[in-house]
């Protein structure tokens, strides 16, 4: 059975810093983002067409999530988090997609990660 890590955020918490803190506390070697539930605000993305979306203040639902967290040799973590977001206030909206560079939780936000061990991948 796969091990999972659930990371929950309260309103206004820094998402990337919180992810790094949680995986460090649990001594995670590698993890993949499995799902997310909730909203982001005040975020920056590098979009899939390489355009920067900076300082977007409006709430956006997390529609899709992918990416990974990897422990580096210096014990720091790299977070590669790709999101597809939908504007919360709009009934019809075009999604925005890209790699998260910064963002805050808007209300409650939860990510579920599937954990992997680099040692188990080598053997």
Helix H or strand E encompassing 29:
none
Architecture of domain 4-122: 2-Layer Sandwich (3.30)
> What pLDDT is stored for residue 50 in this prediction?
60
User: Domain segments of the chain: what residues?
Assistant: 4-122
Rounded to an integer, what is the distance from CA 101 to the centroid of its chain?
10
Taking the C-alpha atoms of residue 79 and residue 19, their distance in angstroms, rounded to an integer, is 8
Check residue 90 and give its pLDDT. 66
> Over the chain (123 residues), what is each successive 10-residue block's mean pLDDT?
93 98 95 97 82 80 96 92 87 82 96 80 45
pLDDT score of 123: 43
Phi, psi of 19 (to 5 degrees): -65, -45
Helices (H), the chain: 15-25, 118-122
- What pLDDT score was predicted for residue 121? 47
Task: Report pLDDT for 122.
Answer: 45
CB of 67 closer than 8 Å to CB of 32: yes
């Amino acid at each position: 059975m796969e091990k999972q890590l659930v990371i929950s955020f309260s309103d206004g918490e820094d998402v990337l810093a919180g992810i790094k803190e949680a995986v460090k506390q649990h001594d995670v070697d590698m993890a993949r983002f499995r799902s997310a539930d909730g909203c982001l605000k005040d975020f920056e993305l590098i979009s899939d067409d390489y355009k920067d979306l900076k300082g977007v203040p409006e709430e956006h639902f997390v529609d899709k999530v992918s990416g990974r967290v990897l422990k580096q040799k210096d014990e720091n973590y790299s977070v590669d988090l790709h999101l597809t977001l939908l504007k919360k206030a709009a009934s019809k909206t075009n999604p925005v997609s890209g790699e998260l560079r910064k963002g805050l939780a808007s209300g409650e936000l939860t990510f579920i990660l599937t954990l992997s061990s680099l040692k188990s991948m080598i053997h």
